[in-house]
Amino acid sequence: MQTPAHWTSDPLTPPDARAWDLLIIGGGTAGLVAAHTAAGFGASVLLVEREHTGGDCLWTGCVPSKSLLAAAHVAAEARAASRLGVHVGELRVDFGAVMEHVRSAITTIAPVDSPEALRRAGARVAQGEVVLTGPSTAEVDGTAVHFRQALLATGSEPIVPGIPGLTEVDPLTSDSVWGLTELPASLLVLGGGAIGCELGQGFARLGSRVTVVEAEARLLGRESRAASAALANAFAADGIDVRTGVAVTGVSTTDDGTRRVELADGSSVLVEQVLVAIGRRPRTRHLGLTAAGVEVTDSGHVRVDERLRTTSPRIWAAGDLTSHPPFTHTAGSHGSLAASNAVLGLRRTVRPDLVPRVTYTQPEVAAFGPDVDDPGPGRTVRRIPHTEVDRAVAEGRTDGYSALVLDAKGRVIGASIVGPRAGESLAEAVLAGHEAIRARGLAGSMHAYPTWSDGVWKAGLAQGRADLASPVVQRVTRGLAALRRQWTGRQWTGRGLD
């Protein structure tokens, strides 16, 4: 993927020669949001990025992957159009044009995340490697920098496991896959999580013969069993060979350059390319964390408290290098919260229970909060199959569902949605969770008809009906109805109507 030209660094010393109010290490989503937030408060801010601002989300993550998926899903819709009586001619995928679309999306968004945009917001920007040398000092390419507060926002990188022969075949990752110039004829995706499933389905729909290998028992293991099953069915329809519950034991190259991937069950798969998508690890090495008194966990994540402060009082951390869910929206929220706490001395806290997640396959899989398969004691799940959602029926996509997880008081504390626009439908449920809204509050709000969010509304309605069916409520409502009947009866008698 093409990277921007080298950009000019600002001076490393603030104009007043004092320590920077906030030193931000990393120019991804967390760092960008933190810089805008802190500069908006009037703080002196220095953001240092070693490569290019925008981070993984812009250059190798959300933006390119969703751009690729847009093309892939259009291709799939064209192939399946006959189910609605629309017959399309021969389909041809121009992979070069697809990748040009991906690059175009990146370059269109890039100016928003650029050093120039940060400078306009009031922050200073420098390019270089940062090493912490103490609890309030650092070096940028050997030049000393002093700070009152610092924010670590260096993000994460793909994990390549130590499988025999894997590194020798130069596997693709979610970082390097965007350098492809030709569509692989065949591709093995190692990992059936969100990234593996998105890229696997994307390349399959563009024309690659795809095999997905997942060591766990099912795809998307953190999602509901119904969500995993729905995606497995979709993958089968796309012609994807899914191997779950089996590990890769070795990789080699045949005489003609083909990759041979050996599996623990004794089988093997021959493919042109291997894509590794088993997870990511925090970029915390070479930061000088020990010198600054910043502790890390066994997994290498920076240890933070509920306010995102590290074990060093002047240093904070945000985004993927913490142990919180590694999503762009998590990083953005962290950046704002950490900058506010660091610069203003606030005590805002994170809410891990309200972090939404979306896998942008078809069908989409979206969720937050407790597991709908096992929500825990005192909790209720209200699930609506999409056979009961009229928009799903009209579009012929009834294989999903919408489910709400409710606490003992009927308040929304989680949700799981499978189907088109699941991510958009989830937003209403997340807001309900944030504001401690009861399910009947969702049911009582008017929803446009027919929409995909009808599933969430009907799940709320199901709880409302269950509330009305309780013995206590039944006695109250029947009593009120009887009183009303008596009252109107007397009125009618007095008017000679009885």
| 77 and 139, same domain (yes or no) | yes
Structure confidence at residue 488 (pLDDT)? 83
CA distance to 378, 422, 443, 463, 465, per residue, from 470 (Å): 16, 31, 17, 11, 9
| 79 and 114, same domain (yes or no) | yes
| 367 and 333, same domain (yes or no) | no
Q: Is residue 9 part of a domain?
A: no
Q: Is residue 424 part of a domain?
A: yes
| 450 and 367, same domain (yes or no) | yes
Q: Is residue 486 part of a domain?
A: no
Rounded to whole angstroms, the Cα distance separating 236 from 441 reads 39
| 179 and 290, same domain (yes or no) | no
- Final residue of a structural domain among 280, 315, 332: 280
Q: Is residue 358 part of a domain?
A: no
Angle between helix 328-344 and helix 29-40 axes, rounded to 10 deg: 30
Under a CB-based contact definition with an 8 Å cutoff, are residues 362 and 73 in contact? yes
Place of tokens 């004092």: 18
| 318 and 405, same domain (yes or no) | no
Place of tokens 């699941």: 422
Strand bridging mode 401-406 / 156-158: unpaired
Instruction: Give the CA dihedral 205, 211, 216, 222, nearest 10 degrees.
Output: -10
Q: Is residue 4 part of a domain?
A: no
Structure confidence at residue 2 (pLDDT)? 52
Q: Is residue 11 part of a domain?
A: no
Percentage, residues of the chain above pLDDT 90? 89
Q: Is residue 475 part of a domain?
A: no
Rounded to whole angstroms, the Cα distance separating 240 from 198 reads 12
| 107 and 24, same domain (yes or no) | yes
Q: Is residue 68 part of a domain?
A: yes
**pLDDT tens, residue by residue, 76-85:** 999 998 888 9
Specify the CATH number for the domain of residue 437: 3.30.390.30
Place of tokens 């626009």: 421
**pLDDT tens, residue by residue, 375-407:** 999 999 999 999 999 999 999 999 999 999 999
- Final residue of a structural domain among 250, 280, 310: 280
Q: Which amino acid is at 494?
A: G
Instruction: Report the domain count for the chain.
Output: 3
| 74 and 147, same domain (yes or no) | yes
Structure confidence at residue 3 (pLDDT)? 54
**pLDDT tens, residue by residue, 228-254:** 999 999 999 999 999 999 999 999 999
| 98 and 133, same domain (yes or no) | yes
Beta strands across the sheet bearing 241-244: 241-244, 209-214, 186-190, 273-276
Rounded to whole angstroms, the Cα distance separating 183 from 203 reads 8
| 145 and 269, same domain (yes or no) | no
Rounded to whole angstroms, the Cα distance separating 414 from 433 reads 7
| 121 and 171, same domain (yes or no) | no
Strand partners, 315: 150
Specify the CATH number for the domain of residue 188: 3.50.50.60
**pLDDT tens, residue by residue, 478-491:** 888 888 888 887 76
Q: Which has the closest alpha carbon to 174: 71, 275, 321? A: 275
Give the domain extent around 227. Answer: 167-280
**pLDDT tens, residue by residue, 298-348:** 999 999 999 999 999 999 999 999 999 999 999 999 999 999 999 999 999
- Final residue of a structural domain among 299, 326, 353: 353
| 133 and 200, same domain (yes or no) | no
Band (498; pLDDT cuts 50, 70, 90): very low
Structure confidence at residue 483 (pLDDT)? 85
